Amino acid sequence: MRDPNSSQRILQTGSFSGYHRFVELGSDYLSAGKTREQPLCGDKEGWGPLSALRYDFTPCFMDVWVSTVAVYGILFGGIAIWWLVRRKQKAEVEKDWHFWTKQALIVAIGISVAVQLVFQILNYPDVWAGDFRFWTSVLTIISLAIIFTIQFLEHTRLRNPNGVVLFYWLFILIAFSVKLRSLISQQIYDKHLPYFIAYCVGFGLSWVEFGLEWLVPKKKSTYQAIEDDEECPIEYATVFSILTFSWMTPMMRYGYKKFLTEDDLWNLAKRDTTKSTGGKFQQAWDYELENRKNPSLWMAIFRAFSGPYFRGSLFKTISDTLAFVQPQLLRLLIQFVKSYSADEEPEPVIRGAAIALAMFAVSVGQTMALHQYFQRAFETGMRIKTALTAAIYSKSLKLSNEGRASKSTGDIVNYMAVDTQRLQDLTQYGQQLWSAPYQIVLCMISLYQLVGLSMLAGVGAMIFMIPINGLIARLMKRLQKEQMKNKDSRTRLIAEIVNNMKSIKLYAWGSAFMQKLNYVRNDQELKTLRKIGAAQSVANFTWSTTPFLVSCSTFTVFVLTKSTPLTTDIVFPALTLFNLLTFPLAILPMVITSIIEASVAVGRLTSFFLAEELQEDAVIVKGPVDENGEESITIRDGTFSWDRHAGRNALEDISFTASKSELTCLVGRVGAGKSSFLQAILGDLWKVKGEVVVHGATAYVAQQPWVMNASVKENILFGHRFDPVFYDKTVKACALVEDFAQLPDGDETEVGERGISLSGGQKARLTLARAVYARADVYLLDDCLSAVDQHVGRHLIENVFGPTGLLSGKTRVLATNSIPVLMEADFICLIREGKIIERGTYNQLMAMKGEVSNLIKTASNQDHQSTESETTSSGSSVTIEVDRSNEDQEKDEMEEAQEHLTQLQPIRPSVSGLKKRKGSSATLRRASTASFKGPRGKLRDEEEPHSKTKQGKEFSEQGKVKWDVTIYGIMLVGGQTAQIGGSVWLKNWSEVNGNKGTNPNVGFYIGIYFALGIGIEETAREDGFRDIQVSDELFRNDPSRSNPESIFQVLARTFNMLFVNSARAMFTLAVISTSTPVFIALIVPLSAVYYWVQSVSRSPIYAHFQESLGGITTIRAYRQQMRFALENEWRVDANLRAYFPSINANRWLAVRLEFLGSIIILSAAGFSIISVSTGSGLSAGLVGLAMSYALQITQSLNWIVRQTVEVETNIVSVERVLEYARLPSPMLLPPSPLPSSLPLPCPASLTSDFPFGPLRCARPPPIGG
């Protein structure tokens, strides 16, 4: 029976604990009797913990608290000392006033505790050696000595304070504060003033020590070469800052005020740089290659990155365990509420307050642990992707021709963009593979405590569903492999179309290629995608059905087999457990899918990493020769092959020498082996036998010139130091002066795939200038005169190749059929079918009247005929252009595939960033902000920084999926309504059972509950199918086929999870407000804080990732693989400088939002306690219903944050699609032989007869032809 005077008694006594105040202080902390009523406790109040005499803890229990902290300092402090002593790397930190003050304070605190120890001995003359309070002081002194040692060692070994030390001071201050409050309440300052003074001095000094250790950062040495304002704060963040992610707060505030640029970002921590992560992976992969017959990429990744990832599993374990503590506390809270409505003595209000505070503390602790796990998971994924990207790039520079034949450029870019991302995604869900079963086991144990053996019915339901999901998983794995093949086919086809767009338009083949693309896209890829979506929907349906089947079967068996009524203190803790069970069961399909995708990616990457590499001893490189006439290139009895496993050789029985200051020309018909000969000297061919020796540095000019995406000047310098005098000589010798005058920015004009387009002759002269400026010892030139005009060719011969040219003192090997240069050659070799047939000087070979003489005569006749017939010349030009376009396919294919990169996109290097780049990588590339396909401006892939989001474009396209979104919304609301209806039905049922003491009308209540549960699952399944139809429409209406992966898979799934969790959070707030209306007053301020915190996190950073593999031969020839690898590392690091803060910004936001969720839990529980204690008549069922939903709010807020960020990240893909869709395009017409069918008048020069059909003119006509 509830005491009607309890509220008045509380007000009169001030006691919420049920204890009466002890007015006369019978004893104090320093009192002790000779006869102990309890072992080791000389005080008559005993161990407590609560005193029976006053509203306080007992003296012995307070010392238990202090001694526990001291033991913590001794044990964990000893481990910290061991770790610090073994730490080899030292931090450059000065020993200034900060260090000496901290050490002096610890000594002073130790002295104050020693003084207290003396007073204890004096006050316990007979029993001090056996009193626990004495030994507490001894343990405290020992722990202070250990902390003194740690702080001495850490100052020179760590930038941030040691976590053991900080927690020691935090815990000891809490214990000292409680003890001080107790000493004051005992008025010990009247009886033992010296002891009280000593204690207060130690207490005050402890606060100062804690403040110095926590709040005052260590000062770096003056000679340390790192700028404070650009160093990542995590390098010196305290453990408290790491737990709360407060080290991100300055950037979040700055990003809230202005748009962040790359100059505002911190540098990476050393452990996160590409050099560090790539080195760890390479070391682990080399170990696999050396020690395992079948190298495992999984084991290499595990060996390199498993440490932090599995340390995160400890936090995951803590988080999962705390999650299942909440239902137990909920049961205690419901029992507390029931005590005010039942015929029994109500429990003390302080018990309810303690339960509410415990629920709040558990929620906060779970948040801290969960996001420490998430941080380690995301950082591990980031490091894996970074390392694999570096390894893929490095491997691509080593691939042999055989390896390149099986791995196209598009495939390699897909490895970077798709497969590495799959492995990064796996780190986010990988630990759920053990965590989900662990949570299920905890749930079953908790259910057994509630409903006994009835929980076996739920276990049976889960076992029944396992084989069904196994079949679905196998089906999804097969479909995923098929989808990857379809995706590769589409990527290749798009690359071919974009590569040959001019020819396709010229021949009016647009419709035919569109039909072919639609077949691959709609009939193959989309068909498979729909199958995957259907399988995913069925999987989600089965897994989401499982918790309901578990709860329904458990409750049914309970009420049928037990006489105990199914009451609220059983139903709602069980319902909370079933809700917790939903997550591990729902996440398992995602984990299985992620593992399947990662397994496919690992297989592809393993195949790539094991691909054939260049032959290391193919070429012997020695020092340069000094004297003219000395041999610079020597080939002795060489036989070479493009594929070492093929039976056919490219070159056979080659014996060749080239000397310093000699020009050697290679002549032969197309396909004779001239280019193969140069490739053999470079080492790109497999050497079957023989020896190749090259003296000095090599420069190479390819037949198809490779131009970097950089300025003209940077293309010429190619990483070498700028010499203005020689640079001007090179430009003049290569006939580039007039070209520079025509370019918008001269030699600062950006060229390449994203810059201005150069003609074939300009590209040839630009790459020749690159070779000349390199000032190498050996020059290998592959038909570099074929693309230039005759007068330009004569200029190059005179100023570059000839006896008076810049290269006259170098070894030159030129593959050409140009007669003028042959006349200047010192030596000529004729190659036919991979063999040297004739060799000698020009005059000797002409006198022999052999094949060289015939070739020269034939070439002279063809050149004469081509100059007489312009039509023939035009036709020939067209043919050469098409052929080159085909040969350039891989380079363009990579460019197309790079449009799909969304995660690894490095920011353009800033001016400040360029200044920090050291070594050879500092001069390779400087990003230009000018567009040279018209007026000056930004390149097309750059974003204007004045707006943080670009939602208007997406809103303008809404409604394109018609009724699917509307039906989806209805189903979503219906599902949430049915779920709440089921919970309310359980509330009413349990209250009826509690009132009657039995379980009446079992069939009726179970039937209604089952019907509501089936309604929930049907709406969830319909949501899934509507989601597939929406993504289907988006994919069919994607005009540019740009970023389809993000749109029709990632974005659709992300939107679904965002909407589901948003609806769940709103319905949760509604339920809590219904049960406790006073909670409505908190919704407005909490919502304001929520939206403010969320707005601070929105600082999207756009960047682009670009790296061309088309110039691998050139890079190898110049032996600049290391420089390009360093440049790649710099680009990846530039991206990580943005990515690392972004993932931690999510954690910063989530911690704060989940803290709001914890406040909601505390508020709901606190208002419930206040309501029942003041006689409001609030039922236990309604409290249980509200709290069971309040416990879900933190998880819902967490998922809302994650999915909001995912939506903002992937919505960029929609922006790109809309931008491409709105690009102006020429009018498309069906093929027609009539010139009159052209939509616009063409220039007169283009209306002459063409043998290959009609043309279509773009609008406006092209400038410059």
Q: In whole angstroms, give the CA distance from residue 448 to residue 821.
A: 92
In a domain, residue 834? The reply is: no
Rg of the chain's alpha carbons, rounded to an integer?
39
What percentage of residues in the chain have a pLDDT greater than 70?
65
Tell me if 1217 sits within 8 A of 953, measured CB to CB: no
In a domain, residue 875? The reply is: no
pTM: 0.70
1263/1219 same-domain check: no
Among 475-489, 1117-1131, 1197-1211, where is mean pLDDT lowest? Answer: 1197-1211
Q: What range does the domain containing 1162 cover?
A: 259-429+1077-1223
pLDDT of 993 strictly over 50: yes
Residue 684 or residue 1222, greater confidence: 684
pLDDT value of residue 284: 92
E strand or H helix that includes residue 534? helix 527-561
Q: In whole angstroms, give the CA distance from residue 598 to residue 609.
A: 16
Residue 689 or residue 481, greater confidence: 689
Phi-psi region of 97 (alpha: psi -120 to 50; beta: other; left: phi over 0): alpha
1235/1109 same-domain check: no
What are 158-185's pLDDT values in tens digits? 777 888 899 999 999 988 888 888 888 7
pLDDT value of residue 316: 93
What are 1110-1164's pLDDT values in tens digits? 556 677 676 667 777 777 777 788 778 878 887 888 788 788 878 887 888 888 7
94/140 same-domain check: yes
Write the DSSP symbol of residue 756.
B
In a domain, residue 819? The reply is: no
pLDDT value of residue 924: 27
- pLDDT band for position 940 (50/70/90)? very low
Q: Which of 1037, 1066, 1093 is the last residue of a domain?
A: 1037
pLDDT of 137 strictly over 70: yes
pLDDT value of residue 1041: 39
pLDDT value of residue 144: 92
Q: In one letter, which amino acid is 430? A: G
Among 367-381, 880-894, 1220-1234, where is mean pLDDT lowest? Answer: 880-894
In a domain, residue 572? The reply is: yes
Write the DSSP symbol of residue 979.
H
- What's the chain's average pLDDT? 73
Structural domain count, the chain: 5
In a domain, residue 163? The reply is: yes
What are 100-129's pLDDT values in tens digits? 888 899 999 999 988 888 887 777 666 556
Task: Tell me what the mean pLDDT of segment 23-51 comes to.
Answer: 56
993/1094 same-domain check: no
Helix 97-123, helix 193-215: angle, nearest 10: 150
1218/1231 same-domain check: no
pLDDT value of residue 965: 66
Residue 977 or residue 339, greater confidence: 339
1204/1236 same-domain check: no
C-alpha pair distances (Å), 420 with each of 304, 385, 1123: 15, 5, 23
pLDDT of 192 strictly over 50: yes
Q: In whole angstroms, give the CA distance from residue 451 to residue 574.
A: 8
Q: Which of 1037, 1054, 1085 is the last residue of a domain?
A: 1037
- pLDDT band for position 1091 (50/70/90)? very low
CB environment 552-578: b (16+ within 10 A), e (fewer): bbbbbbbbeeeeebbbbbbbbbbbbbb
- pLDDT band for position 1008 (50/70/90)? low
10 Å CB burial of residue 631 (0-12, 13-18, 19+) is: middle
- pLDDT band for position 91 (50/70/90)? low
Among 44-53, 484-493, 532-541, 645-654, where is mean pLDDT lowest? Answer: 44-53
Residue 358 or residue 488, greater confidence: 358
Residue 217 or residue 361, greater confidence: 361
Residue 902 or residue 711, greater confidence: 711
152/181 same-domain check: yes
Task: Tell me what the mean pLDDT of segment 1039-1045 comes to.
Answer: 43
pLDDT of 549 strictly over 90: no
Q: In whole angstroms, give the CA distance from residue 119 to residue 583.
A: 57
What are 324-342's pLDDT values in tens digits? 998 888 888 888 887 777 6
Smallest Cα–Cα separation from 159: which of 267, 250, 269, 72?
269
E strand or H helix that includes residue 831? strand 827-832
What percentage of residues in the chain have a pLDDT greater than 90?
11
831 forms beta bridges with: 836
pLDDT of 29 strictly over 60: no
1214/1240 same-domain check: no
Whether the link from the prior residue into 1260 is cis, omega within 30° of 0, is yes
In a domain, residue 1050? The reply is: no
Mapping DSSP to helix (H, G, I), strand (E, B) and coil, where does residue 778 land? Answer: strand
Q: In whole angstroms, give the CA distance from residue 938 to residue 929.
A: 5
1164/1237 same-domain check: no
Residue 544 or residue 118, greater confidence: 118
Residue 344 or residue 839, greater confidence: 839
CB environment 952-987: b (16+ within 10 A), e (fewer): eeeeeeeeebeebbeebeebbebbbbbbbbbbbebb
Distance of CA 638 to the CA centre of its chain: 49
- pLDDT band for position 670 (50/70/90)? confident
In a domain, residue 13? The reply is: no
pLDDT of 1258 strictly over 50: no
pLDDT value of residue 1013: 59
pLDDT value of residue 1085: 57
292/181 same-domain check: no
pLDDT value of residue 769: 92
- pLDDT band for position 39 (50/70/90)? low
711/571 same-domain check: no
H helix intervals, 834-947: 842-848, 851-868, 870-887, 889-898, 911-916
pLDDT value of residue 108: 92
1258/1148 same-domain check: no
pLDDT value of residue 1205: 62
Among 586-600, 694-708, 1125-1139, 1168-1182, where is mean pLDDT lowest? Answer: 1168-1182
pLDDT of 348 strictly over 90: no
pLDDT of 652 strictly over 60: yes
In a domain, residue 761? The reply is: yes
CATH number for the domain that contains residue 753: 3.40.50.300
pLDDT value of residue 1051: 63
Helix 1080-1096, helix 1052-1075: angle, nearest 10: 150
pLDDT of 840 strictly over 60: yes
What contacts 1088, CB < 8 A, 6 or more positions away?
A: none
pLDDT of 916 strictly over 80: no
What are 197-226's pLDDT values in tens digits? 888 999 999 999 988 888 877 666 544 444
pLDDT value of residue 768: 92
Task: Tell me what the mean pLDDT of segment 1220-1244 comes to.
Answer: 49
Task: Give the CA diameter of the chain.
Answer: 131
Neighbouring C-alpha atoms within 13 Å toward the C-beta of 1162: 15
pLDDT of 1106 strictly over 90: no
pLDDT value of residue 1021: 46
